[in-house]
């Protein structure tokens, strides 16, 4: 990375996953690096996202475990759940991770500057009363929850607030149809709340494979979650004596003790002073970047959720790694092909590659393999839950284009198959692979008969 007559070679705004990785790696390669953060180190993922959410998913699973245990000979007592105890334990783990991030940055020689940063010009960053100059600047400010502009919207909360609720609500209505809405529906139901999920479209998780979406919807209904699709929210009203009423344009009403807005996220770019730098923003406030994460100002870059690319923590980290290579004279782009992802719903979803719908738009011949079965762990428990696995194959080349799953451990299973996808595996190679028995994962290498087109 070239040295200039500035305070720093690289100044990073935002200490989330992407910003921290870029700062650490650049510093390890000899650059003078600073990172500014107005909140807690680790960003959304560590503090109000992936990590606390997954801890709550684990907590919610115990309801099933206690219930299923009797089928395996265990005498079940009457377990009691304490929301305050869960929040206290979660907070302790987040505080530990904050400390880990600080030690990683300190150990790499990165200067941590606490406070909200803004750009005065293309090389100057202002934090509080202090100004710093840098040869290169990285915007890694992430995103924030979006709340639609409807009357009474302030009566609801966003996902950030759920992690700090003093008590578990008895009734919760979740508005939205993305992964955050689906995950919190499962968490809250598992912990004992009555849950309604309200979405304006015909089926949640738009962009995922249709079979995954339909399968998960059926499983959530079995769990007693009230799914309200094709339902618009016109306004929220406070109920005398407590509670919130959700009103639709057709007179439909849903009452709840807590309303969660899970209606998407927006880039965190307000107040950064980008107008003074010539950095171009998109229609939703996202930072527009090229394939090397460079903005319209040649020395300013952006990675992660503040851009309009793939909003996943590992993607932000990979973008940061590619950027550091670029800054060190080795122009490197991020490979966005076949990025695996998971939705930690109950049951969870794991997916990588093309959906069936996407494949049919790109390939002349598509072959589908699909299997639906009850997981072995539920046979003695008697639980009425089914796993669905699906392969999308190019009929002309035999290449596996997509691997999709709804069922226990879906994320863990799909991670391995994502490696095969990156290697261009064919269905014949899947078939030639010996399965591990008895596992659910073996089903992916034993599906022989395609479904009828």
Dihedral sign for Cα atoms in the order 370, 376, 380, 385? negative
Please write the tens of the pLDDT for every residue from 406-425.
999 999 999 999 999 999 99
- Check residue 303 and give left, alpha or beta (phi > 0: left; psi -120 to 50: alpha): beta
Single out the residue of 369, 415, 416, 406 nearest to residue 390, CA to CA. 369
- Predicted confidence band of residue 337 (pLDDT cuts 50, 70, 90): very high
Task: List, by residue range, all CATH 3.50.50.60 domains of the chain.
Answer: 8-145+266-327, 153-263
| Residue range 37-62: mean pLDDT, rounded | 97
Neighbours of 95 (CB within 10 A): 12
- Other Cβ atoms within 10 Å of 70 Cβ, number: 13
Q: What pLDDT band is residue 303 in, cutting at 50, 70 and 90?
A: very high
**pLDDT for 131:** 97
Closest CA to 323 of 8, 70, 24: 24
> Can the peptide bond before residue 39 be classed as cis, meaning omega within 30 degrees of 0?
no
What is the pLDDT at residue 199? 98
437 is catalytic: yes
CA distances from 378 to 191, 271, 370, 381 (A): 20, 52, 20, 5
Candidate from 261-265, 272-276, 397-401 with smallest mean pLDDT? 272-276
Model confidence at 373, in pLDDT bands (50, 70, 90)? very high
| Mean local confidence (pLDDT), 202-213 | 98
pLDDT band, residue 4 (cuts 50/70/90) = low
Domain 8-145+266-327, CATH: 3.50.50.60
The third-level CATH classification (topology) of the domain covering 153-263 is: FAD/NAD(P)-binding domain (3.50.50)
The predicted structure's pLDDT at residue 238 = 98
Catalytic residue among 123, 362, 386, 437: 437
pLDDT band at 1 (very low <50, low <70, confident <90, very high): very low
Q: Is the pLDDT of residue 448 over 60?
A: yes
Average pLDDT over residues 182-211: 98
Mean pLDDT of 167-185: 98
Band of residue 251 on the pLDDT scale cut at 50, 70, 90: confident
Classified by CATH at the fold level, domain 341-445 comes out as Enolase-like; domain 1 (3.30.390)
Query: Is the pLDDT confidence value at 3 over 70?
Result: no
Give how far Cα 217 sits from Cα of 224, 228, 352, Å.
11, 11, 20
Residue ranges of the chain assigned to CATH 3.30.390.30: 341-445
The per-residue DSSP string of 12-51 comes to: EE--SHHHHHHHHHHHHTT--EEEEESS-TTHHHHHHSHH
């Amino acid at each position: 990375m070239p040295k200039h007559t500035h305070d720093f070679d690289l100044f990073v705004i935002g200490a989330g996953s992407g910003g921290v990785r870029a700062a650490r790696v650049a510093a390890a390669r000899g650059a003078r690096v600073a990172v500014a953060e107005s909140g807690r180190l680790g960003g959304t993922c560590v503090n109000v996202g992936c990590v606390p959410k997954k801890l709550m998913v684990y907590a919610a699973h115990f309801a099933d475990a206690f219930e299923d245990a009797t089928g395996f000979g265990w005498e079940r007592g009457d377990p009691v759940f304490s929301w305050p105890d869960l929040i206290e334990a979660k907070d302790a783990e987040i505080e530990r991770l904050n400390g880990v991030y600080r030690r990683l940055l300190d150990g790499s020689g990165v200067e941590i500057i606490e406070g909200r940063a803004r750009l005065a010009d293309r090389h100057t960053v202002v934090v509080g009363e202090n100004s710093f100059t840098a040869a290169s600047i990285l915007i890694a400010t992430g995103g924030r929850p979006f709340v639609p502009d409807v009357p009474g919207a302030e009566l609801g909360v966003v996902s950030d607030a759920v992690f700090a609720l003093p008590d578990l609500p008895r009734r919760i209505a979740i508005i939205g149809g993305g992964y955050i809405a689906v995950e919190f529906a499962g968490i809250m139901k598992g912990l004992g709340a009555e849950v309604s999920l309200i979405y304006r479209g015909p089926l949640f998780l738009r962009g995922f494979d249709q079979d995954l979406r339909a399968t998960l919807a059926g499983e959530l209904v079995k769990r007693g979650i009230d799914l309200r699709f094709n339902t618009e929210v016109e306004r929220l009203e406070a109920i005398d004596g407590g509670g919130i009423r959700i009103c639709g344009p057709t007179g439909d009403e849903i009452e709840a003790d807590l309303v969660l807005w899970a209606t998407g996220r927006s880039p965190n770019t307000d107040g950064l002073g980008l107008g003074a730098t010539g950095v171009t923003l998109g229609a939703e406030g996202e930072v527009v970047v090229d394939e090397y994460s460079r903005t319209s100002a040649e020395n300013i870059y952006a990675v992660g959720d503040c851009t309009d690319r793939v909003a996943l923590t590992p993607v932000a980290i990979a973008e940061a790694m590619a950027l550091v290579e670029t800054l060190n004279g080795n122009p490197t782009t991020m490979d966005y092909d076949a990025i695996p992802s998971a939705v930690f719903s109950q049951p969870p979803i794991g997916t990588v590659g093309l959906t069936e719908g996407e494949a049919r738009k790109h390939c002349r011949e598509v072959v589908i393999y699909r299997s639906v079965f009850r997981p072995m762990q539920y046979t003695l428990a008697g639980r009425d839950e089914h796993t669905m696995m699906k392969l999308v194959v190019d009929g002309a080349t035999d290449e596996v284009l997509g691997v999709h799953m709804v069922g226990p451990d879906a994320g863990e299973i799909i991670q391995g198959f994502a490696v095969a996808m990156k290697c261009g595996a064919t269905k014949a190679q899947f078939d030639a692979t010996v399965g591990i028995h008895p596992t659910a994962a073996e089903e992916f290498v034993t599906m022989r008969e395609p479904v009828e087109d």
